[in-house]
Structure 1
C-alpha cells in the first residue's frame, strides 16, 4: 500500500490506496480535448526525439568534428545532464507560477538551443548546446506529466499516460528512421535544424492549445524554502522513494541501450545507419505495444506489484541474455537483437506503472514529484549512457552487463521499499 501523500509544503497526510484515491476523486473519461492530448503526447515525445533523432549521425558528426566515439557520446550525456538540471528548475517553478508560463519559456529556449547545436563548430560547443537543449526541453517533459496529474488520479492517470504514450511512443520509432533519411539529403546538422522546427511548432501548439490546469488557489506562494521542504517531504517518504529508485534504475537500463546501441550495433556488428534505424524502430514498436497492453489491459487485471516485479524480471533476463549471447554462445546480432527487443518491451510495463504510482502520492506537489522522477531517471541515464564504450571501444557485453545491473537494482529497490504495510 502506498505511503502518505505529500503536500506542497512537505507535510504528509494519511495513506490512501490508489483505488481509494481514484474512487474519491471525480475522473472524467475525456479530461482533455483530442488536440490537447496530441500536444501533451508530443511534449513527452520531445525527450526521445531530442536523444534519438541524431543517433544514426553519431559516427558522421564524430568524423566531421575530428573527435572520438566516447566524446561524441558526451553529446547524449550532456543532454541528459541538462534535463536533470532543467526538471529541478521547471518542476517546482510550475507549482508556483502555474503550468503554461514555464512551459512556453522552456520551449522557446529549446528552439534557440537547437539552433546553437546545428551551427556548432566543435565538439565542446556541441556538448554545451546539448546541455542547454536538455535544460530547456525538460520543461515540456516535466510539466506535461504535472498537467495530467492536475486532472487525474490513480489507475485513470496510468491509463491516460498510456494514451499519451501511444503518441509519444512513436518518437523512438520515427526519430532514428527520420534521422537516417535526413542523412540522405543533408548532414548531421540537418537533424538539429529539424529540432528547431519542432521546437517552434510545439511552442505555437502550446500557446494556442494548452490551457492552465493549476488554478492560483492550488499554487504555493513560498520561495526556495517551500520548494526544498516539498522535495524533502517526498524523499523522506519510504514508498515514494522506492518508486523513484525503481523508475530511476529502470530508466538507466533503458538508456544503456539508447546510449550504447548506435555505436555497438554499427561499430561491432557493422550494420549501416539505415539498418540500425530499422532495428531501433522494431524495438521501439515493442515498447509501444507493451505500453498500450499495460494501460488498456494489464492494469485492470493484475496488481501493481505483479506488473512491476514481472517487468523488472524480464528486463534483467534481457540483460543477462545479451551477456550470454556475447560471451558463451557467440550468437552475433541474431541473439543480441531479440534480447534488446525484450528489454524495450519490459519498459512499457515498468515505467508507466512506477511513475504513475509515484505521482499518485503527490497530489499537491505534482511539479516537484515529476521533477524528482525526471531528475533521477535522466541522471542515471547520463551516467550509464557512455558505459558501453568504456576503454574507448564499444562492447555489447558491457552493454548487457549494465542493463542487467540496473534492472537488478530497480528490482531490489522496489522489493525493499515498496512493500505493503
Structure 2
C-alpha cells in the first residue's frame, strides 16, 4: 500500500506546500511527476534485485531508505529539494509493490493467486482511494509537513512488521545476473510471453480507470457539484467500500470458477457503467445521485477485475517472477499517471474527461482480456487434443 498511499496522500497539500515553499502550485506538481518517474523506474530495478538476492533483504533496505526520504521531504525548504526527495521516496517505496506480488506467486499456485490478491485488496487496493481523504485531514490539522511524518511512520510500522513477521519466500539465486544485457534479456523474455502482455494491458487499464476517478473526483464533486470536503470524504469512502466489496465478491466467484472464466463478464459490466456515465455526462442529463451510483458500480468492478488480471499476468512464471512483477507494476503505474494527466488536461469545466477516460481505459482492458483468454482456451484445447 505504500506506493499508492504516498502518491495520493499529499495531493490535498499542494496549495499549502506552494505557500510554505514560496512557489506556485504547478511547480509543486513537478514533485508528483518525479514521484511517478521514481515509482516506474524503481520497480524495473527492484525486479532483478529481488530475483537475485531474495525478497526480504532488499525490502528491508529500501523500506529504511523510504523512511529517510519521507523525513527528508518534511525537512526540505525548497521545491527543488522536494522534487528530488520525492523521486527517491518513490524509488524506495516501489520495492514493496514488486515484492508483494512476487511473494504471492512464490507461495501459491496459479489457481490460488487471484484469491490471495483479492484478500490483499483489503489493504493495498483501498490505499489510493482513501489516501487523499486522510491527507486532507492531516493537512488541515497539522500542516503539509505532517503528511510526510505520517508516511515515515507508516514505513516504520511496515519495516517492523517485515523484520518480525515476514519470512523469506525465495532464497537468493546467484545464477540471476544483474549485468545490463542479462537484465534486458530477462525483461525481453518476460514481455515475449504470449499470456503476459494481454493481461498486463488489462491490469494497467484497470489501474488507469482507478486513477482517472481519483484525479477527477475532487474537482467534479467539490468544484462542479459544490459539495463540502466532509461530504466528498463520505462519498470517497463509499467508493472505497465498493472497491473492497468487489474484491471479496471475486473471492466467492473463484470458489466455483477460474479467473479467466469470470473476468470478462466483470469487465464488461464495468465498461457498461463507464459508457453510461460518459454518455449521460456528455448529454448533460447526469444527476449527482446517478453519478454516485454509476461510479459505485464501476469501483465495485475495479475490485473484482484487478486481482484476476494480476494473477493471470503472473501465472506463466515460475522463474524471473520479480522481473515479471516489476514489469507489470511499472506499466500499471505509468498508465495511472497517464490517465491522471489526461483527466487534468481535458477537464474543460465538466466531468466528461474523467468519465471518458474511465470508459476508454476499460474498453482497452476488455480487448486485452479477450485476447488473453482466447490464448488460454486455445492452450486448453491443444492439451485436451493431445
TM-score by length of 2: 0.88
Give the corresponding residue for 1:203: 159
Partner of 1:12: none
Hey, what's the Cα distance between the residues in 1 that align with 2:271 and 2:29? 24
Q: Distance in 1 between matches of 2:264 and 2:373?
A: 11
Structure 1 unaligned residues grouped into runs of 5+: 1-44
Please give the residue correspondences for 1:19-98 in structure 2 after superposition, counting only pairs within 5 Å: 45-61=1-17, 72-98=28-54
Over residues 322-356 of structure 1, what are the superposed CA-to-partner deviations in whole Å (9 max), with x where a residue is unaligned? 32332214434323222222221111111100111
Choose which of 67, 71, 74 in structure 2 pairs with 1:111: 67
Which residue, 315, 318, 337 being the options, matches 1:360? 315
**Structure 2: 5+ residue runs without aligned partners?**
379-386
Contact 1:323–1:401 under 8 Å retained in 2: yes
Q: Is the 8 A contact 2:347 2:354 kept in 1?
A: no
What is the rounded CA distance, in whole Å, between the counterparts of 1:70 and 1:285 in structure 2? Answer: 32
Offset, 1:178: 2.8
2:245 is aligned with 1:245: no
Contact 2:346 2:353 in 1 (8 A): no
Matches within 5 A, 1:182-261: 182-216=138-172, 220-221=176-177, 223-261=179-217
Q: What is the rounded CA distance, in whole Å, between the counterparts of 1:113 and 1:340 in structure 2?
A: 35
Q: Deviation string for 1:371-402 (max 9, x for gaps)? A: 01101101111112122221675641011111
**Equivalent position of 1:23 in the other structure:** none
What corresponds to 2:382 in structure 1?
Answer: none
For residue 411 of structure 1, what is the aligned residue in structure 2? Answer: 366
Partner of 1:305: 260
- Partners of 1:276 and 1:226 lie apart in 2 by 49
**Cα separation, partners in 2 of 1:206 and 1:262, compared to 1, 3 Å:** same
Q: Report the equivalent of 2:342.
A: 387
Do 1:256 and 1:384's aligned partners in 2 also have CA atoms closer than 8 Å?
yes
* Corresponding residue for residue 349 of structure 1: 304
CA distance in 2, matches of 1:219, 1:282: 48
DSSP-derived class of the 1:211 partner: coil
- Contact 1:47-1:138 within 8 A present in 2 as well: yes
For the pair 1:162 / 2:149, whether they are aligned, the reply is no
**C-alpha distance in structure 2 between counterparts of 1:313 and 1:218, whole Å:** 44
User: Quick check: 2:195–2:316 contact (8 Å CA) kept in 1?
Assistant: no
Q: CA deviation at 1:221?
A: 4.4
Aligned twin of 1:319: 274
The range that moved more, 370-379 or 48-57, is: 48-57
Matched-pair contact (CA < 8 Å) for 1:264–1:388: no
Selected match of 2:95 from 139, 158, 183: 139
In the other structure, the counterpart of 2:381 is none
For residues 248 and 14 of structure 2, the distance between their equivalents in structure 1, rounded to whole angstroms, comes to: 31
C-alpha displacement at 1:181, in angstroms? 2.7
Find the counterpart in structure 2 of residue 328 from structure 1: 283
> Hey, what's the Cα distance between the residues in 2 that align with 1:184 and 1:120?
20
Q: How many residues align?
A: 376
Distance in 2, Cα, partners of 1:383 & 1:242: 19
Give the drift of 1:172.
Answer: 4.4
User: Structure 2 CA distance, aligned partners of 1:195 and 1:144?
Assistant: 19
RMSD of equivalent CA atoms: 2.5
Q: 1:418 to 1:239 in 2, by over 3 A?
A: farther
Task: Go from structure 1 to structure 2 and tell me whether the alpha carbon gap of 1:349 and 1:145 turns closer, same or farther (over 3 Å shift).
Answer: same
TM-score, normalised on structure 1? 0.81
Counterpart residue number, 1:17 = none
